């Protein structure tokens, strides 16, 4: 079994010491840095914006995986790409013309992802799965870190994996929310490729050790 891609979520980091947190991830076994963008409209919370992503990029040595939890993402995708995003995921629920959103991201030279809220069925991606580089399954309701993992996530991974195989897609499956040492192996066994971990990493006295343990699961 191949090793998972581990993407610590900066949403759970110490924003007052963001450079230090980014350098910690640089020095760890993490593969990506997950950056959550919230607008207070699509989700009931605000997070960071384009200038902070630019600041992160100045120090980051890992891939920036930017998750747009915002309405009208097409208005901001180009700016986030210029700020340093290498992967940009938009929410299916926020996009009236999802295929056009995916095309826009790819034309800018970024990898394109689609995120699904817990209530959204994977079948919504049937006609676009072959065009997607990444599917983000939300395993908590988006907007806040530290929430309890939703058990139905395992079934959604199985459904999504079948959809990917049936359509000969190369899309990766990313799990975002409530990932920890207790559920990581089963998530990977079901077909997940990317583990986003926020509080589990940054609340630990040894975040690099936590990342290494996630990376070593097989």
Backbone angles phi, psi at 180, to 5 degrees: -150, -175
In whole angstroms, what is the distance from residue 150 CA to residue 157 CA? 12
* Catalytic position from the list 36, 39, 133, 193: 36
Q: What residue spans define the domains of the chain? A: 5-215
In whole angstroms, what is the distance from residue 13 CA to residue 26 CA? 14
Long-range contacts of 43-52 (CB under 8 A, 24+ apart): 43/69, 43/142, 43/143, 44/143, 44/144, 45/143, 45/144, 47/11, 48/10, 48/15, 50/76, 50/79, 50/80, 50/83, 51/83, 52/18
Q: What does pLDDT average to in each consecutive run of 10 residues of the chain (218 residues)?
A: 91 94 98 96 89 97 97 97 98 97 98 97 97 97 76 97 98 96 96 96 96 93
The predicted structure's pLDDT at residue 146: 63
CA atoms lying within 13 Å on the CB side of residue 53: 28
Instruction: Please give the structure tokens belonging to residue 6.
Output: 């581990």
Report the CATH fold assignment for 5-215.
Answer: TIM Barrel (3.20.20)
Contact 70, 76 (CB under 8 A): yes
Sign of the alpha-carbon torsion through 128, 115, 84, 42 = positive
For 131-179, what is each residue's pLDDT tens digit?
A: 999 999 999 987 666 678 999 999 999 999 999 999 999 999 999 999 9
Pairing mode, if any, of strands 32-38 and 172-176? Answer: unpaired
Contact 203, 13 (CB under 8 A): no
* Catalytic position from the list 39, 65, 133, 176: 176
User: Is 36 noted as a catalytic residue in this protein?
Assistant: yes
Using the structure block, give the residue that is written with the tokens 């072959």: 130
The predicted structure's pLDDT at residue 44: 85
CA nearest neighbour of 134 among 166, 86, 177, 93: 86
Backbone angles phi, psi at 114, to 5 degrees: -125, 130
Q: Which parts of 70-199 are beta strand (E)?
A: 87-91, 111-116, 134-138, 172-176, 194-197
The predicted structure's pLDDT at residue 91: 98
Instruction: Please give the structure tokens belonging to residue 97.
Output: 């013309």
In whole angstroms, what is the distance from residue 42 CA to residue 33 CA? 22
């Amino acid at each position: 079994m191949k090793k998972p891609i581990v993407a610590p979520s900066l949403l759970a980091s110490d924003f007052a010491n963001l450079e230090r947190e980014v350098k910690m991830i640089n020095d760890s076994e993490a593969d990506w840095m997950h950056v959550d963008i919230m607008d207070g409209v699509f989700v009931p919370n605000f997070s960071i914006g384009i200038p902070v992503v630019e600041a992160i990029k100045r120090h980051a040595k890992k891939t920036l995986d930017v998750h747009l939890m915002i309405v009208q993402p097409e208005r901001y995708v180009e700016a986030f790409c210029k700020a340093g995003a290498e992967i940009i995921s938009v929410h299916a629920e926020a996009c009236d013309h999802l295929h056009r959103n995916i095309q826009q991201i790819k034309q800018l030279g970024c990898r394109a992802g689609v995120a699904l809220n817990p209530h959204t069925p994977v079948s919504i991606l049937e006609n676009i799965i072959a065009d997607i580089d990444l599917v983000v399954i939300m395993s908590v309701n988006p907007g806040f870190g530290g929430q309890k993992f939703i058990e139905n996530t395992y079934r959604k991974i199985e459904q999504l994996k079948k959809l990917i195989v049936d359509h000969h897609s190369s899309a990766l499956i990313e799990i975002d929310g409530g990932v920890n040492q207790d559920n990581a192996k089963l998530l990977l066994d079901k077909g997940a490729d990317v583990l986003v971990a926020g509080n589990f990493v940054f609340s630990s006295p040894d975040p690099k050790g936590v990342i290494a343990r996630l990376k070593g699961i097989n």
